[in-house]
Amino acid sequence: MSVAVLDQIKQMKLSHFKGVGTPLLVMAALGMVILPMPAYLLDILFSFNIALSLVVLLITVYTLKPLDFGSFPAVILIATILRLALNVASTRVVLLEGHNGPDAAGKVIEAFGSVVIGGNYAVGLVVFLILIIINFVVVTKGAGRIAEVTARFTLDAMPGKQMAIDADLNAGFITADEARERRIEVTSEADFYGSMDGASKFVKGDAIAGILILFINIIGGLIIGMVQHDLTFDNAVEIYTLLTIGDGLVAQIPGLLLSVGTAIVVTRQNTSQDMGEQVSSQLGQDKSLYITAAIMFIMGIIPGMPHFAFLTFATVIGGGTFLNSKLKVAKAVEIAEQEQVEEVENQQQEAEVKDLSWDDVNHVDIIGLEIGYRLIPLVDKTQGGELLNRIKGVRKKLSQEFGFLVPAVHIRDNLDLDPNTYQISLMGVTVGEAEIRHDHELAINPGQVFGKLEGIETKDPAFGLDAIWINQSQREHAQSLGYTVVDSATVLATHLSQILTNNAAQLLGHEEVQNLLDILAKTYPKLVEGLIPDILTLGCIVKVLQNLMNEGVPVRDMRSIVQTLVEYGPKSQDPEILTAAVRITLRKFIVQELVGPAKEVPVITLSPELEQMLHQSMQMAGDDGAGIEPGLAERLQGSLTDGAQQQELAGDTPVLLTSGILRSVLAKFVKYTIPSLRVISYQEIPDDKQIKIVSAIGQ
């Protein structure tokens, strides 16, 4: 048989004996109550009782958290039962054998009695009673009250803690396993302090029992000694007082130790520090100790005071505090130097050992926001920053409008920026920048106001309107003058929303399109089945959807879009042709976005001669609009700008109506020069709508 197998058999045999100590103690306590015990066995058990109490006390001192000693209430119960059983056994021996002399109940009882009495029974009795009163009135009563209040507060706070755990779990701050562990900890804490409330009652009852046993032993001993054994009164008092006080001390000293341990546990904070660390860190304040040393010194030099004692303590406290502060500084310097050395060594090791990987490549953020250091309070929730919530609201609103999930905004501080400046970037390219003041509000001039404001003149970064930075106290006054007043977080969020709206096509990539198709497939599986790659490639579909977003058409109606692609995909793979087909399918939605439920569509048109000229230019230079003669392009832009302004003044959305061949080219031509002008083709006018020509543009 191998050595490993033998070790395993030994461990299995030893495992059968684990956990038998507590049942043996309980059975021994019952035996002590029922069976007579010799004096030497009492000495052994009394010594064991004292050792057990010391161990328990020291464990309570060095335990980091009260819950780490969760078995403490059960230990108190067992130790109390053992001590009471010893009292019964020692009382039996004292009353039966006490007439034989002071050592009749064992050496331990005799030694404790002789030390306390010191030859004077009255003094010994008073000292013993004081010890019991201290244990009963001060330590036990105070610990019991604290345990009761703590148990009540812990149980009352339990539902709130459970709700807090559920809230953290729902918010994603903790995992399900962490939530389960925290629930177990909360339940264990409530059970522990509830048990401590009951265990403190055992300690209190033990102190009361000690007082009663004292009087019973003295009175019973005097009666038995004088009546049954013909002892004189002086002899009986000497023997039985010595034995009774010794017996009481042997029992009460462990009781006092357990009472102190109970008080330490219930008064401990639930932190990961032992008692020594807590006391030294909280009492070792240099300022308080120096003041104490000064007061002791002043008291020491007052005539009539014990100079030596006060001055000695003043010197010890002051000198000790000075040396301790020096040690703290030296230790802090040593730790800082050690951390610096370790950091350098770690960096050297990483530089030597770690090879380059893909994790070392910095990828650009889809949407990035960099802020100067004075704008950090906007994103710090502890300082009342609302920017994160505003950006979350912008993403939610735009996602609902666009029809796909807008990517998250990566926010970071940039010390290279001016303190009040922010930059918005898309795919690593800066597309917006402005300067704002987080402690001011922006009063925007909507076009007509009734007075002037004092402040810092600026431009609204989103729409370029005239605006003024004002103090928060001027808000109501500015609103009364007709200004639109918004806070700095709203200014930034609005600017971000405007940029994302103008560049929505860049946010729609392959991953987003695939997610849209997967969601559609859950409801219309046959429609999506076979689309990719049998009919069209994913890249082609992405290009079509990006074209729609570039022209301000959301992709919320994916069912209609995919139906059109399935129908026209076998005929053409050109994204421009497919985009035109999808726009015709979505014509009711497109026109509704422009004029709402109105029956008439006010439009700007091009003269037949101008359209013919533009057709010829396209045939010569392609479909990107670059073939338009510069002079003609300038005149066309001016005429379209005037026509768009006229429609805006009339309260209508500027719409240019042209042929399907020119629509895409003209849409690109006016996208950045006249962003408010929408270009639609004749085929995109629904049958239930009438065209109203507002103006016609010639050559």
pLDDT (tens digit per residue) in 385-424: 788 888 898 999 999 988 999 998 998 888 888 888 999 9
The pLDDT value given to residue 277? 57
DSSP state of 451: S
Give the mean pLDDT of the chain. 78
Say if residue 4's pLDDT is above 90: no
pTM of model > 0.85 = no
What are the φ/ψ torsions at residue 601 (nearest 5 degrees)? -115, 100
Question: What is d(CA 87, CA 213) in angstroms, rounded to the nearest whole number?
Answer: 8
Average pLDDT over residues 174-184: 79
What are the φ/ψ torsions at residue 471 (nearest 5 degrees)? -70, 155
Structure-model confidence comparison of residues 484 and 29, the more confident one? 484
Q: Which amino acid, one-letter code, is at 21?
A: G
Q: Tell which phi-psi region holds residue 176, choosing left (phi > 0), alpha (psi between -120 and 50) or beta.
A: alpha
> Which pLDDT band holds residue 118 (cuts at 50, 70, 90)?
low
Question: What is d(CA 546, CA 552) in angstroms, rounded to the nearest whole number?
Answer: 10
Say if residue 584's pLDDT is above 70: yes
**Token digits for 186?**
């909360």
Average pLDDT over residues 251-267: 74
The pLDDT value given to residue 637? 84
Q: Has domain 367-503 been given CATH number 3.40.30.60?
A: yes
Which helix (DSSP H) or strand (DSSP E) does residue 525 occupy?
A: helix 525-528
Inter-residue contact 131 to 255 (CB < 8 Å): no
pLDDT tens digits for range 343-373: 766 666 655 555 666 666 667 888 999 988 8
Question: What is d(CA 529, CA 326) in angstroms, rounded to the nearest whole number?
Answer: 77
Say if residue 235's pLDDT is above 70: yes
Inter-residue contact 299 to 310 (CB < 8 Å): yes
The pLDDT value given to residue 7? 52
The pLDDT value given to residue 636? 83
In CATH, what class is 596-699?
Answer: alpha beta
> Which pLDDT band holds residue 272 (cuts at 50, 70, 90)?
low
Q: Compute the CA torsion angle 505, 509, 513, 518 (nearest 10 deg).
A: -150
User: Kind of pairing, strands 429-435 and 421-426?
Assistant: antiparallel
For 508-585, CATH gives 1.10.8.540
Nearest CA-CA partner of 86 in 113, 50, 126: 50
- Tokens 């059983």 sit on residue: 85
3 state SS of 690: strand
Nearest CA-CA partner of 390 in 497, 470, 506, 503: 497
Say if residue 543's pLDDT is above 90: yes
The pLDDT value given to residue 14? 46
pLDDT tens digits for range 300-349: 787 777 777 778 877 887 787 777 777 777 776 677 767 777 776 666 66
The pLDDT value given to residue 621? 57
Nearest CA-CA partner of 69 in 237, 266, 297, 248: 266
